[in-house]
Chain A
Amino acid sequence: MSYITKPQAHHPSLKPNALGLTRRDYEGAITTLCAGCGHDSITAAFIQAFWELDMEPHTVAKLSGIGCSSKTPAYFLREAHGFNSVHGRMPAVATGAGAANSQLKLVGVSGDGDSLSIGLGQLCHAIRRNLNLLYVLENNGVYGLTKGQFSASADPGSLNKRGTANTMPAIDSVLLAINLGATFVARSFSGDKEQLVPLIKAGLMHKGFAFIDVISPCVTFNDHEGSTKSYAYTRRHQIEVVEADFVPGRREITVDYDPGSVKEVTLHNGDRIMLRKVAEDYDPLDRDQAYAYIRDRQKVGELATGLLYMSGMTSDMNDQLRTGDTPLTQVSHGDLCPGSAELEKLMSRYR
């Protein structure tokens, strides 16, 4: 392995992973978002996570709705199929793709407008189905692409750029997801790559619906004083509750965990997610407690982040559909069609 001896000065994005791919190989088209947009940082976290997981880019399918956030799948994994669908309907397209080919690694990217207004119904039902999908909601409290209207995640009292306060209660996507029975629920901040990359990795490896709400400031329309989704506000109010670490099954655990504070969740394929409690008395495996805790933090103006809730083994949509290990797209027509003799037999039923 000659690359180990290469000089350290080499650009970090050129360091190869186990597949021999560098971070560059996980990039996509050049972003067209505003400089400083939180969404671009999430794109960078995606690239890092895929690279660290040694994932083959073309095994992934990236799907999104419409919005600045929904454009971002074009900016990573150029060697993976992408599908920029219609506003708020990415979950349905992902559901169909997942039903057809259970081997695709599905990644959905959406915005708070896309997910919580026009697409709220589809989000809820994708959660109920426990579709095997990593769903990242890039949450900026506004409709960026249509120039800054409040979205349903805007907090009451939060000011828009003109100084008008939002009067309606916010839909909190994390509480919603927990409530609906999502099997993996996390929250993070686009400015906290340390936290976000492991969460994306864990979410990618989770079997079932993995939901990550990422506060992702819109520098153009919602990063001012009085906004509760600005960089400054989020930095001040974010508290990390649970830190997640993804450990591939074969690998030794090398990090020293403080024994009492770590919960280990084994995934369907033997991989593990280590959940390190930062907050005392928090149990990320207890749905009711997680829900209550996040709400309590909200009441005092704190934003709980990390892998907030996770249930261990779950049966995902394809398990429920009992479609087996072979993707439906790989079953031959010969196996799907009963043939002429059967039809002839069947006809006696209609006489």
Chain B
Amino acid sequence: MKSRINDFAFKIATANGTGSASANGLIMQAIFRMGIPVTGKNLFPSNIQGLPTWYEIRVSEAGYTARTPIFDLMVALNPATFDKDVAEVTSGGWLLYDSTWPLLEEKMRHDVTYIGVPMADLCNEAFDGVRNRILMKNIVYAGVLAALLGIDREELIKLTQEKFGKKPALLESNQQAIELGYQYTAQHYKCPLPIQLERRDATKDAILIDGNTAAGLGCLYAGATVGAWYPITPSTSLMEAFTAFCQKYRVDPETKANQFAILQAEDELAAIGMVIGASWAGARAFTPTSGPGISLMNEFLGLAYYAEVPAVLFNVQRTGPSTGMPTRTQQADLLLCAYASHGDTKHINLYPADPHEAFEMAVNAFDLAERFQTPVIVLSDLDIGMNDWMVPKLTWNDMYQPDRGKVLSAEELEAAERFSRYLDVDGDGIPYRSLPGVHPKGAYFTRGSGHNKFAKYTEDGDEYQEVLDRIARKVNSARAAIPAPFVKRREGARVGLISVGGCHGACTEALDILEADGLPVDYLRVKGFPFADEVREFLDSHDRTFVVEQNRDGQLRSLLILETEVDPARLHSIRSYAGFPMSAQPIVDGVLAKVQVPA
């Protein structure tokens, strides 16, 4: 068989809570350190122990990061899902199983090569204690895969040294387990398999990081000081990351005072209330949450919008409605976040496509929230937030100055004849703000009830409308300040394709496939809401545009129709919403179903 270098995918099926996560991370990192582009997708249950979990690793010389549902090799270690896992292997592929327990001949597939390694037996002989044997079995399969795929064993050994260097006993058993798996496989099978790895130099400027860690780091760099939250998957690790970074970088070396405050709220209503209170007082404040949390925050979001208080929210989306599948990914909160709250509201939304953008957009979010004095919601998703992605190293420009917006200092207030909170002094729809405790002249009454431009209570329709109209102008003007869309036009393209956030990897891959098949397609990825003018221009310049997104109802398509008044007949929807990260083929199929490849 012809060998396939650095271009294949494999999947590891285990049970949750058995310690497989660290072995999977080890494998992925070792491949990354071999300089080969790699991505991992963790499909885990909403459970602490026992339910099935899968880890998918895709190696792609071309650097494609999207999920692929075609697996050349399955590591089937969970009896509960064994039959289903076997069925998923692509024809001509391989199946690795624990041969401590024999397989039934009649149940075996004939188009798949079975590789049995008695992992449990090996561990029972080598290690003591039930828990330890279970844990080490994971490391054994890492060793087996090193032999089968050509993962550099030295990289695995080095990684265990970095990880367990301070715990000699653990280090020793880990290295022993790698060796056990490796040696047994090398002795019993022809290694490596035709699917194999070869060292490259394609990852030296890259990192492996998850979007929640990157976003937490963005909050740190943006100078956020107050974080309020109520734990919810898949956003929890964002606040955990922020906390850890603060403990490292934000304790005053002299006074030992914390230059941060993390408030674990009693619920999401309180979390957003705390953010609003802190922002009102002049801090950069944020809350990470997921769909159910945003639902609870609606009333407060309307207040922040109408009373013009900055607030930064991260919605790490999971499947809905209701509790949905908490550990599966989706983009089904697009409409909710665009117009959250009763009344006429519209919010600035940012849509990162990967952890690198999650970092950058976290910083953008604070600048935009303070500049426009309004909530900004960063919408990532479980796939971006919790999976490790290969992205360019994060960098920082030390010239960065936070955009704190129009906030009057004590001196400015002192010098001013009069301060009116909601007066459109500069004609840009953005009024001046004052902070509590600064100067008596800055005092005003912040309220969600009807108010006029002088911040006085009003029930006068004209006065009320004047303020409401200005706010609409203000928020709409943000479309020029949000990150510009990603656009890639192709020679000869007649149709367009628009996507958002985490669909990006699948879209770029699909568009390459289509072009190779003779169908060039223009591409735009929206990075924020309200939509930049380029979005409208893109729509106008194509008779038909495909809209790719991960929800049932085509929410991005609805938003485009609502906001640009594009003819709905010109927008074709391609959707994926079963809870898995998107892959390229359904996009290719979706386009080809409507457009013929030119002869």
Contacts and interface: CB of A to CB of B under 8 A. Distances in A.
Interface of A: 56-59, 61, 63, 73-74, 77-86, 89, 91-101, 103-104, 121-122, 124-125, 318, 321-326, 328-329, 331, 333, 335-340, 342-344, 346-347, 350-351
A96 B279 contact: yes
Contact of A58 (B32, B217, B282, B440): B440
A340 B398 contact: yes
A333 B207 contact: no
A77 B435 CA distance: 16
Contacts of B401: 333
A103 B265 contact: no
Given A92-B270, A333-B402, A104 B436 contact: yes
Contacts of B184: none
B281 A95 contact: no
B207 A338 contact: no
A343 B447 contact: no
B278 A86 contact: no
B283 A337 contact: no
A336 B284 CA distance: 11
Interface residues on B, range: 35 or more
Interface in B361-404: 393-398, 400-402
Contact of B285 (A100, A324, A337): A100
Given A74-B457, A80-B443, A347 B263 contact: no
5 contacts: A79-B443, A85-B448, A86-B300, A89-B269, A335-B259
Nearest to A90: B273
B177 interface: no
B252 interface: yes
A324 B283 contact: no
Nearest to B276: A93
A101 B259 contact: no
A84 B33 contact: no
A82 B449 CA distance: 13
A324 B281 CA distance: 17
Contacts of B136: none
Given A61-B436, A73-B445, A86-B299, 9 more contacts: A56-B440, A58-B443, A81-B446, A99-B263, A121-B270, A324-B255, A337-B396, A340-B395, A351-B32
Interface in B404-444: 434-444
Given A96-B278, A121-B267, A89 B300 contact: yes
A324 B252 contact: yes
Contacts of B252: 324
Contacts of A335: 259
B249 interface: yes
Interface in B225-277: 225-226, 228, 249-250, 252, 255-263, 265-267, 269-277
B41 to A, nearest CB: 18
B439 A328 contact: no
A96 B226 contact: yes
Contacts of B250: 336
A335 B448 CA distance: 34
B221 interface: yes
Contact of B263 (A58, A96, A343): A96
Given A58-B442, A97-B277, A325 B223 contact: no
A323 B258 contact: yes
Contact of A339 (B256, B283, B398, B436): B398
B145 interface: no
A103 B396 CA distance: 32
A86 B301 CA distance: 11
Which A-B residue pairs are the 4 nearest by beta carbons?
A324-B257, A92-B273, A96-B277, A81-B436
Interface in B198-222: 207-209, 217, 220-222
Contacts of B305: none
B71 interface: no
A66 B250 CA distance: 37
A73 B446 CA distance: 11
A328 B436 contact: no
A39 to B, nearest CB: 16
Interface string B1-41: 00000000000000000000000000001001100000000
Contacts of A56: 440
B261 A99 contact: yes
B338 to A, nearest CB: 21
Given A100-B225, A322-B258, A92 B437 contact: no
B574 interface: no
A204 to B, nearest CB: 15
B588 interface: no
B359 to A, nearest CB: 9
Contact of B225 (A74, A336, A347): A336
A81 B442 contact: yes
Nearest to B359: A343
A322 B260 CA distance: 9
B300 A328 contact: no
A100 B207 contact: no
A116 B396 CA distance: 48
A318 B439 CA distance: 23
B532 interface: no
Nearest to A99: B261
Contacts of A351: 29, 32-33, 207-208
B258 A329 contact: no
